[in-house]
Chains A and B, each alone.
Chain A
Amino acid sequence: MIEAKGLSKHYGAKRAVEQLSFTVRPGVVTGFLGPNGSGKSTTMRMIMGLDTPSAGDVTVKGKHFKNLQWPLREVGALLEAKAIHPGRSARAHLMMLAQTNHLSNARVDELLELVGLSAVANKRAGKFSLGMGQRLGIAAALLGDPEILLFDEPVNGLDPDGIRWVRNLLKGLAREGRTVFVSSHLMSEMALTADEVVIIGRGKLISQTSIEDLLSQSTENFVRVRSPEAAKLKAALELQGAVVAVEDDGSLSVRGANEVAIGELAAKLPVVLHELAPQSASLEEAFMELTEDSIEYHGTTTGGPINSTGAKS
């Protein structure tokens, strides 16, 4: 269990995290979603006691991280930036961590095997590819067999095979009853991995919900209807409180009534239906919709002339 209450972090005037409250419970994978710069890594550093909150509080297992008796055996973390000396071997890196919590060198070798780094265990970590570095970071997080796991963008730099491996690993860890908190700015990745999501934008909580609820809440869910008597159907639907838009191809996009209600209404009228197709928003769209207003760093795809006035920024 991880609990944040009114958690805030200000860097000078910059409000990186602002009044954030959420709960991460055991047994499920909880995704931590937000656009770039929304404060995910900062929050994770505060959970790990690395950064001191400007206000508010965050606890793991009901304690401050600093007060845990066996930190590495209780909480494992893969943080954003590589935290490895490039001159030290993978084995030495894990050994020095294991020793802090009285773990054996056999445990180190076990982990190297698990993440597939046994063959390069004695090579200097500076020579590792991004993916290998990430695997070493994951090994460090799992070293103490902790109940609580934090992963900041774990699939960063991994190939499709590696991504699938991490996904299954996270799910497996949650199935064992562990608390798994994993950040990403890719909703599509979370859709495949997480059961719950904590969504933030500009350091503030936007929503904490299950993936399923996130989908059904989205206004991007609508039903596409085609009918030769579209106008009649539209009028009837609107009488029932639905919002109906006529698309360019003559089809109707109905919001506020589901396919069952529309079908029954059509039968009652009666009007002929040529198509009745519920359209669910992709999670990506649901996420975009939620975070739209809180994206700080927009890229532009259609840049105007450089010297035009009122240039986009």
Chain B
Amino acid sequence: MSTQTTPPPAMQKALPPGRYGFFDLVRSEWTKIRTVRSTMWTIGVTIVLGIGIGALVCALTRSHWSSQNIGQRVSFDAPATSLIGLLFAQFAIGILGVLVISAEYSTGTIRATFSAAPNRSRVFAAKIVVFGVLSFIVAELTSFVAFFLGQFLLSSPATHATLSSPGAFRAVFGGGLFVCILGLIGMGLGTIIRHTAGAISAFVGILLVLPIITAALPNQLSQDVRKFMPDRIGVDVLTTNGQHVGAFSPWVGLLILCVYAVVLLVIGASMLEKRDA
């Protein structure tokens, strides 16, 4: 029929030595995270809630200071009050943590990613590094600014603190860590659940619904379980007036949260390896 031409010789491409590296993946993940709007939104909300709510409460406390009784004035926790917004900011950072992985699944980007870099664990590690560092910086920045702004607004005669006041530095730095670790917990949930809405629901459920359920347990059991809840641990990290609600010291509490994050991320990583993308 037609003239059968012999195919051309197979292409022999010269490749650079070695193989694609971890730092290449970190750069790629950084490009990914900074080029979607949801990152800007969630970080913006994290900062605004984290700083704004504490500032508002501090300003109101200052203006109502004279109407407070002695007991209230003495037990007033100036650092914790300025950092109260972190307990709201944790939801925004958690949503970003969920999105950095779940959005890859919902949009199908994960297939493009794994087609370019099939070593899934390495990609995931790069993602954790990028999100972890970003959320650490955002959370600490939020926490420190919230503290200084809050203390400024709590000027005399209201009680106010400096970083060298007892427990203040721990509350500020620990508060930032708390928010950062919750972001990583969100990321772990996002990796395991893969669906954005499902993972966000799980995240909110753990922080808001689980405490309500455990509160309904018989008294002693309830106390035993409640102290392991992230919300309790978070409140204790911020508290500097000795009125702790849980049973763990702030640093032990943060360590427990780290264990949660690591466990979720490790489960997520193993599922990421096994499941079809």
Binding site for B on A (CB under 8 A): 1, 25-28, 45, 48-52, 65-66, 68-75, 77, 79, 81-89, 92-93, 95-97, 99-102, 140, 144-147, 174-179, 195, 212, 215-216
B140 to chain A, nearest CB (A): 26
Residue numbers in B under 8 Å from A102 (CB-CB): 16, 20-21, 24
When the two chains form their complex, are residues B276 and A51 in contact, meaning their CB atoms are under 8 A apart?
A: yes
Which listed residue (A100, A146, A212) contacts B117, Cβ 8 A?
Answer: A100
- Name 23 interchain pairs, CB-CB below 8 A, sorted by A: A1-B10, A26-B9, A45-B111, A50-B114, A52-B276, A65-B118, A69-B15, A81-B108, A92-B32, A95-B35, A96-B28, A96-B31, A97-B112, A99-B24, A99-B31, A100-B20, A100-B117, A102-B16, A140-B112, A145-B13, A177-B7, A177-B10, A216-B1
Chain B residue with the shortest CB-CB distance to A11: B276
B residues near A49, Cβ cutoff 8 Å: 114, 118
User: Which 5 A/B pairs are nearest by Cβ-Cβ distance?
Assistant: A27-B7, A177-B11, A26-B10, A92-B35, A69-B19
From the candidates A73, A79, A84, A145, name the one contacting B115 in the complex (CB within 8 A). Answer: A79
- B7: which A residues are within 8 A, CB to CB? 25-28, 174, 177, 195
Contact-residue bracket for chain B: 35 or more
Judge whether A70 and B112 touch: CB under 8 Å. no
Closest CB in chain A relative to B190 CB, distance in Å: 15
Taking the closest CB of chain B, its distance from the CB of A21, in whole angstroms, is 21
A69 lies within 8 A of B112 (CB): no
B11 contacts A147, C-beta separation under 8 Å? yes
Which residue of the partner chain A has the closest CB to B4? A212
The residue on A at minimum CB distance from B112 is A83
A154 to chain B, nearest CB (A): 15
**A258 CB to nearest chain B CB (Å):** 13
Asked if B21 and A212 sit within 8 Å, CB to CB, the answer is no
Contacts of B254-277 to chain A: CB distance below 8 A: 274, 276-277
Contacts of A100 in B (CB 8 A): 20, 24-25, 28, 113, 116-117
Does B165 touch A at the CB level, under 8 Å? no
**Interchain nearest-CB distance for A113 vs B (Å):** 20
Decide if B32 touches A96 in the complex (CB within 8 Å).
yes
Q: B73 an interface residue at 8 Å Cβ cutoff?
A: no
B20 touches which of A45, A69, A89, A146 (Cβ 8 Å): A69
Q: How far is the CA of A179 from the CA of B109 in the complex (A)?
A: 25
Flag if A97 contacts B116 (CB, 8 Å). Answer: yes
| B116 and A82 contact, CB distance less than 8 A | no
Closest to B274 in A: A52
- Shortest CB-to-CB span from A69 to chain B, Å, is 4
Chain A residues lying within 8 Å of B274, measured Cβ to Cβ, are 52
**Chain B nearest Cβ from A180, distance in angstroms:** 11
Q: Are B11 and A176 in contact (CB under 8 A)?
A: yes
With CB as the reference atom, state the residue of chain A lying closest to B119: A66
Question: Which one of A26, A96, A144 has the greatest number of beta carbons of chain B within 10 Å?
Answer: A96
Enumerate chain A residues within 8 angstroms of B114, measured Cβ to Cβ.
48-50
